[in-house]
Amino acid sequence: HTHQDGSLHPADECPVYATYHDSKPRFIKDDVFWKKNGESISVEYSSTPIRDEHGKTAGSVVVFRDTTKRKQIEEKMREHQAQLVHVARLNTVGEIASGIAHELNQPLTAITANSRACVRMMESGSHQVERCADVMDKIADQAERAGKIIRQIRHFVRKDQPEQNLIMVKNLLNTIVEFIEPEARRAGIRLNIEVADTVKTVYAQEIQIEQVLLNLLRNAVEALRETTRPRRKIKIQVSDVGTGFVQFVVSDSGPGLNAEFSAQIFDPFITTKTEGMGLGLSISKGIIEAHQSELCVTSTPSGASFSFKLPATKGDGLND
């Protein structure tokens, strides 16, 4: 048998040999065994010492289970979950399309107006070179603004990259705010962002965490849109909670959640919206759990609050 990557076990690292050597039983969760025909199989196995009539270890007995099919099923489940997450992300972009269109329309309108002004100056023959150059600078700025919006959309809807990386919290929040701010502004909602000075990075899958935060913020906007309260506010708090972890809290000043809905809020297809699949919070919970954390909710008559933690650096997972 070999390591998972196919490299040979040196004698002093072989679990079966180690059991024989120190008389300690072992359980190996993931390894590779090879058949005589050259094919490999994934296995989990136990290695237990065999003792002779004098109580001395004479060898090791190995009991193994072929886990090849189980791992294939797990891989298919991971692929299915990734596809479901991607579909939900596309659905989210579709739901905020009107806000995105409004944000794109503003720089495009400015580009059109400034371009026509520049053409009129050139046609007038007044040779207003400096003024025309200023107008062209404005056109370039607005084009860059439109391009930034499009790049953010493309970044958000692309399929997940499986690996986790160190990501800048500031950049993460800036991306999310660009998406949610138009919708919040039209609903008369004030966004308040508080980030502790000690918080710089988190170790996570960037697009997935963006998806979780955007979903929580959109839910908060929906809750506040339906309330008659004069002060509508959403707060995003990011703090250093010690032991190498960063906590994200999204809270709103809405009516809160009723007890019955709170009990099943993370179940799939549960929603209070007239439109929507009811998968947002269920998928968000799965994403946070895949990061070895937990998505928590608290609710009072003065609003709801969702929170989760992420490691500030690689190797600080909750289950490490």
Q: What is the pLDDT of residues 192-222, one digit of tens each?
A: 999 999 999 999 988 788 888 988 998 888 8
**What contacts 241, CB < 8 A, 6 or more positions away?**
247, 309
Residue 240 lies in a domain: yes
User: Is 278's pLDDT higher than 70?
Assistant: no
Q: Last residue of some domain: 159, 191, 225?
A: 159
Show the tokens assigned to 280: 């947002």
Please state, in angstroms and rounded to a whole number, the distance separating the CA atoms of residues 35 and 194: 58
Q: Last residue of some domain: 138, 159, 180?
A: 159
What confidence score (pLDDT) does residue 108 get?
Answer: 80
Q: Do 232 and 306 share a domain, yes or no?
A: yes
Q: Do 170 and 271 share a domain, yes or no?
A: yes
Cβ atoms of 93 and 153 closer than 8 Å: yes
Higher pLDDT, 114 or 291: 291
Q: Last residue of some domain: 127, 159, 191?
A: 159
Compute the Cα dihedral for 62, 68, 69, 71 and give only its sign: positive
The CATH number assigned to the domain holding 239 equals: 3.30.565.10
What confidence score (pLDDT) does residue 250 get?
Answer: 94
212 burial via Cβ count (<10 Å: 0-12, 13-18, 19+): buried
Q: For 136-160, what is the mean pLDDT?
A: 71
Q: Do 57 and 75 share a domain, yes or no?
A: no
Q: E-strand spans in 98-232?
A: 165-168, 190-195, 201-204
Cβ atoms of 294 and 308 closer than 8 Å: yes
The CATH number assigned to the domain holding 39 equals: 3.30.450.20
What confidence score (pLDDT) does residue 166 get?
Answer: 92
Q: E-strand spans in the chain?
A: 26-34, 40-51, 57-66, 165-168, 190-195, 201-204, 233-242, 245-252, 296-300, 303-311
State if pTM tops 0.85. no
Cβ atoms of 201 and 169 closer than 8 Å: yes
Q: Do 182 and 294 share a domain, yes or no?
A: yes
User: Is 156's pLDDT higher than 70?
Assistant: no
Q: Do 154 and 214 share a domain, yes or no?
A: no
Q: For 14-32, what is the mean pLDDT?
A: 86
Q: Do 154 and 185 share a domain, yes or no?
A: no
Q: List, in sequence order, every residue forming a beta bridge with 28; answer none if it has no partner.
A: 45
Q: Do 254 and 134 share a domain, yes or no?
A: no
Q: Do 153 and 55 share a domain, yes or no?
A: no
Residue 49 lies in a domain: yes
Q: Do 105 and 139 share a domain, yes or no?
A: yes
pLDDT digits (tens, 9 = 90+) for 293-302: 999 988 888 8
pLDDT digits (tens, 9 = 90+) for 56-93: 888 889 898 888 888 887 777 766 666 666 666 666 66
What confidence score (pLDDT) does residue 235 get?
Answer: 93
Count of structural domains within the chain:
3
Cβ atoms of 249 and 236 closer than 8 Å: yes
Higher pLDDT, 69 or 5: 69
Least confident window among 176-185, 242-251, 272-281: 272-281
User: Is 54's pLDDT higher than 90?
Assistant: no
Q: Do 212 and 251 share a domain, yes or no?
A: yes
Q: Do 28 and 141 share a domain, yes or no?
A: no
Which domain, by its residues, includes 211? 162-311
Cβ atoms of 88 and 280 closer than 8 Å: yes
